[in-house]
Structure 1
Amino acid sequence: MYSPRAFVETDLDRQLDLIEAHGFGCLMVQDGQGGIEIAHLPFVLDRGVGPHGRLRAHVARANPIWRLATDGRPVVAVFSGPHGYVSARWYEEPTRQVPTWNYAVVHAHGRASGPMDRDDLSALLDDLAAIHERGAAEPWSTRALDRELHESLLQGIVGFAIAIERLEGKFKLSQNRSPADQARVARALAERGRPDDLEMLRWMKPPSGQGR
């Protein structure tokens, strides 16, 4: 991924935070004939497993990507965070600037293992439900399913894990602009107030104790 130095994010916690906040990722694997197999999947991130963490996901058994992913070839999962248009009129000298696009992304490179056994696959589904039902008054869980239906569904999917070997973070959030322009962009994002704008504002703030 092309990343000018100003936008390179190397802080492991911030990279993993973005993956957790935007866990619906894009898995890409080469197919051996010059093409790329792609799947859009919800992932579970396991922090602390290995030096960079571990990802878990599942696909339909009929999806060819799991066989490609688990045969030892490199895989990459792309996680896209907040993004949005930045107008040239937000800058101190708008007649000498052009618009751009701000965004935050993380690429997780690694190798997959699988397929999961029945217990690990069931645990993955439990974890996915627990993560995304969090905060609900009456959270749904797989325990609500009819047992025969549950077993039938497990037969139709395949789970796998990706040991993350390398993370690439690119947080393009106006770091290459002057302090005055960064402040102007922050104010404009707050005024526009879209969900992605407000989240970008949070990512623009440096980690506690660090300057950017």
Structure 2
Amino acid sequence: MYVPPHFDESRPEVLFNLIEKNPLGILFSNGKSGLDANHIPFHLARGQGEHGTLACHVARNNPLWQDLSDGDEVLVVFRAADAYISPQWYPSKHQFHKQVPSWNYLVAHAYGRVTIRDDEPFVRRNVALLTRTHEASQPVPWKMGDAPRDYTEMMLKAIVGIEIGIIRLVGKAKLSQNKEVRDIEGAGHALNDLGSRTIGEAMLAAGRAKTGAEDC
């Protein structure tokens, strides 16, 4: 991924937060059958391994787990949000008429090495962690014990676990940081008004950060 210095986001804590808030990643692999991409929810273990570890599971019928070998390198892409940016939102456009459309976004790329985990304890734990995390906001959270034991065992046998030890994290926060503060803030407020608050608020924060840097 091309990351100009002004769009670079390399703080692990920020990237971990992005992954945890947006756990549906795209797993890109290049196994025995060639390039492949799978959309999978991941659980992140921040303190496991040098740069954290990602865990997921796939259907046993999915050829991905047989297409990969332990130690193969993969890439998982997590996207927080994106938004079209109109030149009309930049105050400087109305003064100098020298702006063009753009697209802003927040993403994290996790490079790692795979271990295929076709063992019941790993799969059960991964399902339990994902369930506990994403059921937490429900009025009555569902738990694995709510289903009949034989049914749960059958479902667990139908999936295979995948563990990815992260070896490198790359983040990009494209928030118009290369523009004037008034333009960053103008577009940020416009996005908020349209309901695209994730990028809008991130842009306003980028504007405040740039103002602070210029004041130093």
Normalized against structure 2, the TM-score is what?
0.89
- Specify which of 172, 177, 180 is matched with residue 178 of structure 1: 180
Q: What one-letter code is carried by the residue in structure 2 that aligns with 1:68?
A: D
Q: What one-letter code is carried by the residue in structure 2 that aligns with 1:111?
A: R
- Alignment-derived partner of residue 82 in structure 1: 81
Conserved in 2, the CA contact under 8 Å of 1:70 and 1:160? no
**Mapping of 1:183-194 within 5 angstroms?**
183-193=185-195
| 1:45 CA drift (Å) | 0.7
Equivalenced residue count is 207
| 1:116 CA drift (Å) | 4.1
Conserved in 2, the CA contact under 8 Å of 1:38 and 1:65? no
| 1:93 CA drift (Å) | 3.0
- Alignment-derived partner of residue 140 in structure 1: 142
| 1:20 CA drift (Å) | 0.6
Tell me the SS of whatever aligns to 2:25. strand
Q: What one-letter code is carried by the residue in structure 1 that aligns with 2:31?
A: D
Tell me the SS of whatever aligns to 1:96. coil
- Alignment-derived partner of residue 110 in structure 2: 108
Distance 1:24 1:74 in 2: 19
1:159 and 2:158 are equivalent in the alignment: no
Distance 1:70 1:147 in 2: 32
- Alignment-derived partner of residue 18 in structure 2: 18
Distance 1:5 1:137 in 2: 44
Distance 1:202 1:51 in 2: 31
Q: What one-letter code is carried by the residue in structure 1 that aligns with 2:153?
A: E
Uncovered stretches (5+) of structure 1, i.e. residues with no partner: none
Mean CA deviation greater in 92-101 or 13-22:
92-101
Partner deviation per Cα, 1:16-74 (whole Å, 9 max, x = no partner): 111011100100110245x3121100100111112221100000111111123343211
- Alignment-derived partner of residue 51 in structure 2: 52
Distance 1:185 1:203 in 2: 11
Q: What one-letter code is carried by the residue in structure 1 that aligns with 2:7?
A: F
- Alignment-derived partner of residue 120 in structure 1: 122
Partner deviation per Cα, 1:143-169 (whole Å, 9 max, x = no partner): 111111111111111012100000110
Partner deviation per Cα, 1:82-125 (whole Å, 9 max, x = no partner): 11111000112322111110001111000011224211211111
Tell me the SS of whatever aligns to 1:137. coil
Q: What one-letter code is carried by the residue in structure 2 that aligns with 1:18?
A: L
Distance 2:31 2:123 in 1: 24
Conserved in 2, the CA contact under 8 Å of 1:69 and 1:75? no
Give the superposed CA RMSD.
1.9
Q: What one-letter code is carried by the residue in structure 2 that aligns with 1:143?
A: G
Conserved in 2, the CA contact under 8 Å of 1:70 and 1:111? no
Distance 2:128 2:32 in 1: 34
Uncovered stretches (5+) of structure 2, i.e. residues with no partner: none
- Alignment-derived partner of residue 61 in structure 2: 62
Q: What one-letter code is carried by the residue in structure 1 that aligns with 2:44?
A: L
Distance 2:20 2:172 in 1: 16
Structure with bigger helix share is: 2
